[in-house]
């Protein structure tokens, strides 16, 4: 019955929202509530979340709809990048550290400011 509903009902909802040509739906900038994700999934709009910052010039992690898709996650680290959780507490909280060509490489012509924001290991890679 889902395929019938998809064609007769969900297709009309997507068309009314102007989303009938979309093949993928993504969300970034802020996490969505589980209720929001579940609501849109119930009308055949599966939203894949991504994680990135201004400093990473866009996404660092991306959740693709497919075999390893999991609601409420930001998916895997993209090819050519690395992510790790540093100083992790017993509750699993910590500092998210990212590496890749997409991450800020330093302040242009401002070596002193760059030194302030990078640790020694990263500073050697930048200069």
Q: What is the per-residue burial (b if ≥16 Cβ within 10 Å, else e) of 92-112?
A: eeeeeebbeebbeebeeeeee
Check residue 121 and give its pLDDT: 64
CATH number of the domain where residue 63 is located: 2.30.38
User: Across residues 92-109, what is the average pLDDT?
Assistant: 81
pTM: 0.67
As for how many domains the chain has, the answer is 1
Whether the pLDDT of residue 126 is over 70: the answer is no
Lowest pLDDT segment from 17-21, 87-91, 111-115: 111-115
Could you list the residue range(s) of the whole structural domain that residue 56 is in? 2-126
Please compute, for residue 112, the number of CA atoms within 13 A of its CA located in the half-sphere on the CB side: 0
21, two tokens: 């040509």
Indicate whether 123 pLDDT > 90. Answer: no
Average pLDDT over residues 45-64: 84
- In sequence order, the β-bridge partners of residue 100 are 81
Separation of alpha carbons 113 and 111, rounded Å: 6
């Amino acid at each position: 019955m889902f395929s019938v509903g998809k064609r007769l009902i969900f297709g009309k909802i997507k068309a009314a929202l102007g989303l009938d040509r979309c093949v993928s739906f993504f969300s970034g900038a802020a996490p969505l509530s589980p209720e929001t994700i579940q609501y849109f999934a119930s009308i055949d709009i599966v939203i894949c979340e991504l994680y990135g910052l201004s400093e990473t010039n866009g996404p660092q992690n991306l959740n693709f709809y497919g075999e390893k898709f999991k609601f409420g996650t930001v998916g895997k680290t993209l090819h050519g990048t690395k992510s790790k959780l540093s100083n992790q507490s017993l509750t699993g909280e910590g500092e998210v550290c990212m590496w890749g060509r997409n991450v800020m490489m330093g302040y242009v012509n401002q070596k002193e400011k760059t030194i302030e924001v990078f640790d020694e290991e990263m500073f050697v890679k930048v200069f």
